[in-house]
Amino acid sequence: MSDPEADARRIAAGPAPSSFVAPPATDPPAERTPSGESAQPFDPLRLCIFATIALLGWIAGPVALLVFAVLGFVGYWRARAAGLTRSRCYLRDTRLVLSYLGVLCAAALWGCWHLAVTLF
């Protein structure tokens, strides 16, 4: 059996794990200011994505909400049946997520009914 301390020293003396990963060829290395901060400004791509999703939801209205809430509900229902009890969703417990998605489905159905009554 080998000595754990000798193994730890041997591993620590080797190359850093980051040396095995080559940087992407297309991206230049990030420039740093003297204070160590990145010279590149923050790219708020997620905010653009959220705004696009909100726009699509606004255009499609309660129908989009109904479609995505039903898809989410069915997905979580199947995952719970397969044994998932904790989710990475903010609500964590899959029962809470299913309840939330059920309320969204009900609100979307009401919205679809209200839209149909208003238009026709």
Burial annotation 87-116 (CB, 10 A radius, 16+ → b, else e):
beeeeeebeebbebbeebbeebeeeeeeee
Question: Residue 26: what pLDDT?
Answer: 63
Closest CA to 95 of 86, 82, 104: 86
Token code pair at residue 6? 């000798």
- The percent of residues above 70 in pLDDT, for the chain, comes to 77
pLDDT grade for 81, boundaries at 50, 70 and 90: very high
Give the tens place of pLDDT for each residue, 34-63: 666 666 677 778 788 888 888 888 888 899
Question: Residue 119: what pLDDT?
Answer: 85
Question: Residue 38: what pLDDT?
Answer: 60
Q: Is the predicted pLDDT of residue 114 greater than 60, yes or no?
A: yes
Q: Is the predicted pLDDT of residue 29 greater than 60, yes or no?
A: no
Contacts of 100 (CB under 8 A, 6+ apart): 91
pLDDT mean over 98-109: 94
CB 69 within 8 A of CB 103: no
SS3 letters for 12-66?
HHCCCHHHHCCCCCCCCCCCECCCCCECCCCCCHHHHHHHHHHHHHHHHCHHHHH
